[in-house]
Structure 1
C-alpha cells in the first residue's frame, strides 16, 4: 500500500515537473529571440526587397532596349538578349574578365597560402616582436587605400629606372599591389581561426615524429579550410572590385573588368541615349563570378567567419 502510494505520489510529483519544463523552454526561446516573429518576418522581407528589387531592375534593364530604359520603363515591352552579345565587343569585357580572374585568383591563392604559415608562427611560437607584428596587422587595416595610391605608384615607377624592371602596366605588378593589401587581413583572419584549434592534436603529431612542416601540412591545413576559404575569398574580392589601383597600375591590354566598366560608363556620358542595356548586362556578368563563388563556398564561409567567437 505504501509502495503504491509512493509510486502514485512520485508520479504525480514528476508530472508537474515535466509539465513545467515545457513552458520554461518556450519562455527561454521567447527570451532569446530578439524580436517577435511577425516583426522579424516583416524586417527580413523589407531587407530582402531592398537588396533584390535593384538587382531585378538591373536584369530587366539588361533585356530591355536603351530607349525603353531611358523612357523609364520598369517592365520591358520586348525582351531581348542582344545586350549580352554586344558587350563582348563594345565593352571589351572578355579581356577584362580574363585579367581580373588571373590577378584576383592569384592574389587569393597566394594570400591564403602565405597567411596560414604566417599565422601559425604568430600563434604557436613566442619570439621578440610577436605582439608588435600582431598590432601592426591590426593597424594596417585602418589605413585607407586612397592614401597609398601615390606612394605605391612612385615606388613601382621608380623600379623601372633603378632596377630596370617594368612594373607599371603589368599584371604581376597589380598582383603584388593587391597581395600587399590582402596579406594583413588574411593573416589576421587565420590568426583568429588558429587560436581556436586545440594544441593537443599538434602535440600528438609531434609524439608520432612529425616535424614542424609535417604538423602544418598534415594537421593545420586540413583543419583550417574554413579560415583559408574566408581569407582567400576576401582577397579575391579585393582584386575583383578594385578600380582605383587598377586604373593607375594597368594599361589597355592589362586592365581589369572593373576598369573596363568604368571606361565604358564614362564614354557614354554626354551621348544622346547611353547604352543602358549593355551597361546593365555587363554589370551582371561581372557580378556573376562573385555570386557563384559565394554559393560554392557558403558552408566554409559560415564556419570561418564565426571561428574564434567561442572559447
Structure 2
C-alpha cells in the first residue's frame, strides 16, 4: 500500500512539473529563479558584509571588508540591550501565536460546521476588522487601557499583558479566517464516522480536527508571530524600557546611532541579522507543515 501511495505521489509530482515546463521553457524558468534569488540574497549578503566591517569602511562605501571582525556581534548585546528585547518579543509574539492559533481552530470549527443566527455577520465582521488601519485605533487602545488602569487600580500600560491583548485583537480575526478556509476543505465524513462511534463535539475537535489542521494552525500561528515580532507602532506606545520589544529597541538604536559623527552601521546590521534569526528558524522548523496537507488520502 505504501509503495502504491509513493508511486501515485511521484506521478502527481511529475505531472505538475510537466505542467510547469509547458508553461515556461526551462531556460526562462532558470533565469527567473536566478533573478529572484539575486534580489533576495544580495541585500542579505550586503548586510552580513557590513556587519563584519568597520563603520568607516561602510561610510566610505566599501562592500568587501578589508579587516574581517565579529566585534559588532559582541557589542550589540551591551549597546542595544538586545537580550532583553529578544526575550520580550519571544514571550509576547510566541504567546500571541499559540493562543490565537488554537482559539482560531475552535472559532472556525463552530463557524464552519454549525448553522446559527448571526453566523454570516460574524464572518463579515472578522473580514471587516482586517481593513481597519492600526493607526486609527492606537489612541483608543491607549485611552482604554488608561481608563481600565484607573478603574481597577492596576497598571496596564507598560506591561507585556497589554501588548499581548493588543496583538491578539489583530491576530485572532486573521487566524480565524485562515482556519475557516482550511476547515472547509476537511472532509465531513471523518467527523460523521466519529459521531457514529459516540464521540462528542469536544472529542472531535481535539482528536480529529486539531491533528488534521496542523498546517493551517502553523500558518496562522506564524503570521500572528510575525505581527507581534515586526510591530513598532503599538509597542513603542504601550511598552516601557523594561518591556520594550526588539523592534522598538532597533528603532531607538538606529535613531540614536545616526546622531554620531560616524554612525555605527556595523552594529545596526549585526543587530538586524540577529533579530531575523528566530523568524528564519521558525520557518525552517515548520516548513513541512507549510508546504503540505495532512488530509491527503484520508477519505477515499
TM-score, with length taken from structure 1? 0.87
Change (3 A) 1:200 1:39: same
> Whole-Å Cα distance in 1 between the matches of residues 82 and 19 of structure 2?
52
- Describe the SS at the equivalent of 2:65: coil
Q: Unpaired runs of 5+ in structure 1? A: 1-24
2:83 alignment partner in structure 1: 94
2:113 alignment partner in structure 1: 124
Q: Does 1:177 align with 2:166?
A: yes
1:6 alignment partner in structure 2: none
2:4 alignment partner in structure 1: none
Q: Does 1:67 align with 2:56?
A: yes
- Describe the SS at the equivalent of 1:33: helix
Change (3 A) 1:29 1:303: closer
> Whole-Å Cα distance in 2 between the matches of residues 108 and 288 of structure 1?
17
- Describe the SS at the equivalent of 1:303: coil
> Whole-Å Cα distance in 1 between the matches of residues 20 and 229 of structure 2?
42
Displacement of 1:32: 6.7
Displacement of 1:91: 0.3
What does 1:220-259 align with in structure 2 at a 5 Å threshold? 220-259=209-248
Among 253, 261, 285, the alignment partner of 2:250 is: 261
Alignment length, in residue pairs? 280
Displacement of 1:33: 3.3
In terms of Rg, which structure is larger? 1
1:49 alignment partner in structure 2: 38
What does 1:148-227 align with in structure 2 at a 5 Å threshold? 148-227=137-216
Change (3 A) 1:154 1:34: farther
> Whole-Å Cα distance in 1 between the matches of residues 223 and 47 of structure 2?
25
Could you list the per-position Cα deviations for residues 3-62 of structure 1 after superposition, in whole angstroms to 9, with x for gaps in the alignment? Answer: xxxxxxxxxxxxxxxxxxxxxx99x94787333221221122111111100000000000
Between 1:82-91 and 1:34-43, the stretch displaced more is 34-43
- Describe the SS at the equivalent of 2:165: helix
- Describe the SS at the equivalent of 1:175: helix
TM-score, with length taken from structure 2? 0.90
Could you list the per-position Cα deviations for residues 252-279 of structure 1 after superposition, in whole angstroms to 9, with x for gaps in the alignment? Answer: 0000000000000000123110111100
Change (3 A) 1:31 1:177: closer
Could you list the per-position Cα deviations for residues 195-224 of structure 1 after superposition, in whole angstroms to 9, with x for gaps in the alignment? Answer: 011111111111111111111111111100
Query: Please, what is the CA RMSD of the aligned residues?
Result: 1.7
- Describe the SS at the equivalent of 2:131: coil
Q: Unpaired runs of 5+ in structure 2? A: 1-13
Change (3 A) 1:95 1:77: same
- Describe the SS at the equivalent of 1:75: coil
1:133 alignment partner in structure 2: 122
> Whole-Å Cα distance in 1 between the matches of residues 18 and 74 of structure 2?
53
> Whole-Å Cα distance in 1 between the matches of residues 133 and 156 of structure 2?
23
